[in-house]
Amino acid sequence: MSPKTIIFIGPQGSGKGTQIERLYSVIAEKDPTRRIVDIQTGRRFRALAAKRETYADKKIAATLDSGELQPDFITHLLWGQAMLDQLDNKSHLLIDGFPRTVHQAEVLEDALDFFGRDHVHVINLDTPEEVVRKRMEERAREDDTTDSIETRLRWYREDTLPVLDYYRVRPETTVHDIDGMVLIDEVHEAVVAALELK
């Protein structure tokens, strides 16, 4: 299997984290000798916020609680450092949580060029707002307040949906539109089939 670069895009609550974990297992089984680098910026932000030790930790926690986007420089720093520490041109790369804006996609482009990664697969977990809103309310995470949920849905509409348009016209890119409303197992099967990993 050749090294894969796979970006998951979808609103919070669309199941990206769950699907990355399951895809990780499939790739690890099919290609056990190759490293898989899994970068999920949301998880990294929550880990920093949980510490609440430094000014930055506390500021990140407040931003998470409000539902606003984190500043670009911190987002770039987190995934950039993860790539520098772990990535080469032979590893599989799974990404969740960025890019969330077209500008972030352009910065990521520089990183992909640096690491010699050409073809990009984008998994678009297409999930209506009313569905993800209900899921976020039910998961009862501390930062899932009514206001923060609505803020995150708004910036997804305004800032992240244009990222899909960016990737639809990017050379050497395949956008796979996956129905995020079906059962978790069915989403997983659709992702695996789209990536031809069956």
pLDDT, mean of each 10-residue run, the chain (198 residues): 96 94 98 96 90 94 88 94 95 95 97 95 96 91 90 95 97 97 97 96
pLDDT of residue 126: 97
Nearest CA to 178 out of 117, 116, 121, 134 is that of: 121
The whole-model pTM stands at 0.92
pLDDT of residue 82: 95
pLDDT of residue 118: 87
> What's at 69, amino acid-wise?
L
Q: Across-strand partners of 122? A: 7, 175
CATH number at residue 165: 3.40.50.300
Phi-psi domain of 95 (left: phi exceeds 0; alpha: psi -120 through 50; beta: other): beta
H-run or E-run covering 25: helix 16-30
pLDDT of residue 141: 84
3-state secondary structure of 138: helix
Which structural domain range is residue 167 located in?
A: 5-194
DSSP-assigned letters across all residues of 51-99: H--SHHHHHHHHHHHHTPPPPHHHHHHHHHHHHHHH--SSSEEEEES--
Tally of domains within the chain: 1
CB atoms within 10 A of CB 171: 7
Phi, psi of 120 (to 5 degrees): -120, 130
